Amino acid sequence: MIIIGCDYHPGFQQIAFVDTDSGEWNERKLGHREEAEQFYRQLKVRGKKVRVGMEASGHARWFERLLTELQFELWIGDAAEIRTKRVRKQKTDCQDAELLLRLLIEDRFPRIWVADEENRDLRQLLWHRHRMVQMRMNQLHVLALNEGVRRKKAAAMRTSHCPAEGATTWPRTRTVRGNTPAIRSATTKTAKPDRNEWVRAA
């Protein structure tokens, strides 16, 4: 098996790889896309099993499809966790590729789950549709405001919070508490009327 640590960039990829059968180790810089495709297709012709490890990236869909077509293993790693395993503060593309290769060989590669291509394509379509609906709703909202049309609920809420016409200040609210002497007296008289008053009324 050939194990490859791939430091992926939009324009190129720096790889460090080892052949577990012969022990041969090498590193190489591959340009995108022609040079990289040629390299991996040659490995397929040689009949080798290949495992590629790389950090999660949002610009590698074509590369993932290529490895799937060639039936190569692709391991996607957690970039934040991989960063914590870097010993040297100095960072180069070659060192990043060697780190990925070492993690793969030592079985310490922080692999993450990735949805298959069909599910990711479906998610992309749903996200695109969601954005289009949002854009359309915003356009309709602007057109309605330009024509003086507002939602009844929103208009009612704004009116209820505005001061009365001609008033210069907002109406002052007053909190009435149930433990004041006047309220206690009124509550007592209402709840327990005097029996003598009933007799005199009769």
H helix or E strand, kind and range, residue 73: strand 73-77
Q: What is the CB neighbour count within 10 angstroms for residue 113?
A: 5
Helix, strand, coil percentages for the chain (3-state, nearest 5)? 50, 15, 35
Please provide the average confidence, as pLDDT, over all residues in the chain: 79
pLDDT of residue 175: 47
Residue pLDDT, tens place only, 59-107: 888 999 999 999 999 999 998 899 888 877 777 899 999 999 999 999 9
Q: pTM for this structure? A: 0.60
Please name the residues in contact with 53: beta carbons below 8 A apart, sequence gap of 6 or more.
Answer: 3, 4, 5, 6, 75, 77, 100, 101, 103, 104, 109, 111
pLDDT greater at residue 50 or residue 147:
50
Question: What average pLDDT does range 163-182 have in this prediction?
Answer: 50
Q: To the nearest 10°, report the CA torsion of 150, 156, 161, 167.
A: 90
Res 57: pLDDT: 79
Q: Is pLDDT larger for residue 29 or for residue 192?
A: 29
Using CA atoms, how far residue 12 sits from 51, 123, 160, 201, in Å, is: 19, 27, 62, 104
Average pLDDT over residues 152-162: 57
pLDDT, tens digit, 9 for 90 and up, residues 126-141: 888 888 888 888 888 8
62 vs 192, more confident:
62
Using pLDDT thresholds of 50, 70 and 90, give the confidence band for residue 155.
low
Q: Are 103 and 19 in contact (CB under 8 A)?
A: no
Enumerate the domain spans of the chain. 2-105, 117-151
Instruction: Check pLDDT > 50 for residue 121.
Output: yes
List the one residue out of 85, 66, 86, 74 whose CA is nearest residue 111.
Answer: 74
The fold of the 2-105 domain, in CATH, is Nucleotidyltransferase; domain 5 (3.30.420)
**27 membership: H or E segment, kind and range:** strand 25-31
Q: Which residue has the higher pLDDT, 123 or 52?
A: 52
d(CA 54, CA 6): 5
Q: Prior bond to 33 cis, omega within 30? A: yes
* Between 113 and 183, residue with greater pLDDT: 113
